[in-house]
Homo-oligomer: A and B are copies of this chain.
Amino acid sequence: MNHSIFSETSRDGRARTGRLELPRGEVVTPVFMPVGTAGTVKAIELSTLHQTGFRLILGNTYHLYLRPGTETLAAFGGLHRFAGWNHNILTDSGGFQVFSLAHMRTVTDEGVRFQSHLDGSTHSLTPESVVDIQTVIGSDIQMALDVCTGPDISREEAQNAMDITHHWAARAVQRWRQHGDYQGHLFPIVQGNFFPDLRRQSVETLLEHQLPGLAIGGLSVGEPFSLFVDTLAATMEHVPRGVPRYVMGIGTPEYILAAIEHGVDMFDCVFPTRAGRNGTLLTRKGRINIRNARWKREESPPDPDLDSFGGTSYSLGYLHHLFKAREMLGPILATRHNLMFLAWLVEEARRAIGNGTFEAFKRAVLEGFRPNGDER
């Protein structure tokens, strides 16, 4: 790596704050990235995210490749202009979706073939084509194609998936270096399943490319929380301080706080937006189910101390009514609330790290959560 895009601004144990210098502006870390699957973060306008302080969102390469498709995105000059977002976009590699959504997939050394979950049409992705697609998208940070694995596979399977991932990362780097005037960064994805020595091997192999950052994949795929934490720790201890670290697919307060504690800088997840659409609100007293009759006549907002609705506080009773009546405004407001809650959580975590009080902050937040948030 010639010039690091990351500068650490403070440190508290392994937790740290910092700044990412990206093509479309600086981003402070730790940072939660809302997921804009198909060119929209579901049920919320990108201008609202901007007003709330978000400057980095995620797009899913698999979804964008299938719809609207690379040709349409190219015609619009990339995703930023297509969706009306002038700030940074990170895209994933598509690997996770190919292995979780697509049908009839076959992995070869060359790449992966699969059938679209939308219409069954057959497609191929290679490390090279995935770099090309993300370059058309105009990603500010793109990922190298990887092979994802779930828990409970053999060491041999894990090793094999990791070896292909490493092979593909090398090809992705080569292709990425050929895109001369493209300004986006490339992160390779660490795999190795839940085997600490494979994780170490994956980190060390991928660091050899001297890329601007490192993504940590294959976590939060159904394993117990303690195994997530142990594997994360076993991975992170081999990553140098100058390298920004992105853990893919975590979005609950518990996982985010554990990741920050271990020095993670970036994370994303559909959880807060999907939960919101389904009527689950994140609050400092735990998750609540807004459809619960408990809230029917409750005049207080979901979390009175959060300015979660940009100055307009809606009551729990009104939100309850909107969900019972299946009004679109329910998911709209709940999505915004949950993203505002995460923005608050991460901002407070940054402040605590700056103050050297992260452990106390984390403990206080987790102790505030009730097992059943509906029982206040």
Contact = CB atoms under 8 A, between A and B. Distances in A.
Interface of A: 38-40, 42-45, 47, 67-68, 72, 75-76, 82-84, 296-297, 299, 312-315, 317-318, 321-322, 324-325, 327-329, 331-333
Nearest to A324: B67
A72 to B, nearest CB: 6
Contact of A42 (B38, B76, B82, B329): B329
B75 A297 contact: yes
B45 A332 contact: yes
Contact of A296 (B72, B318, B328): B72
Contacts of A44: 329
Contacts of A76: 297, 299, 315, 317-318
Q: Which of A40, A84, A324 has its CB near the most chain B CB atoms (within 10 A)?
A: A40
A325 B117 CA distance: 13
Contacts of A322: 39-40
A315 B297 CA distance: 41
B43 A84 contact: no
A7 to B, nearest CB: 32
Given A44-B329, A76-B318, 14 more contacts: A40-B327, A40-B329, A43-B329, A45-B333, A47-B312, A67-B325, A68-B296, A68-B324, A68-B325, A72-B317, A75-B317, A76-B299, A82-B321, A84-B314
B329 A331 contact: no
Nearest to A328: B43
A76 B316 CA distance: 11
A329 B49 CA distance: 13
Nearest to A41: B329
Nearest to A277: B328
A82 B45 contact: no
A318 B42 contact: no
B84 A327 contact: no
A72 B329 contact: no
B332 A43 contact: yes
Contacts of A331: 328
B318 A39 contact: yes
Contact of A84 (B42, B296, B318): B318
A328 B39 contact: no
A256 B104 CA distance: 55
Contacts of A327: 38-40, 42
Contacts of A296: 68, 72
A256 to B, nearest CB: 25
Given A39-B318, A68-B321, A297-B75, A329 B45 contact: yes
6 contacts: A39-B318, A42-B328, A72-B297, A82-B318, A328-B331, A332-B332
A332 B43 CA distance: 8
A340 B295 CA distance: 34
Contacts of A325: 38-39, 67-68
| List of 5 A-B pairs having minimum Cβ-Cβ separation, nearest first | A68-B321, A40-B329, A43-B328, A75-B297, A38-B325
Nearest to A330: B40
Contacts of A328: 42-43, 328, 331-332
Contacts of A67: 321, 324-325
A331 B331 CA distance: 13
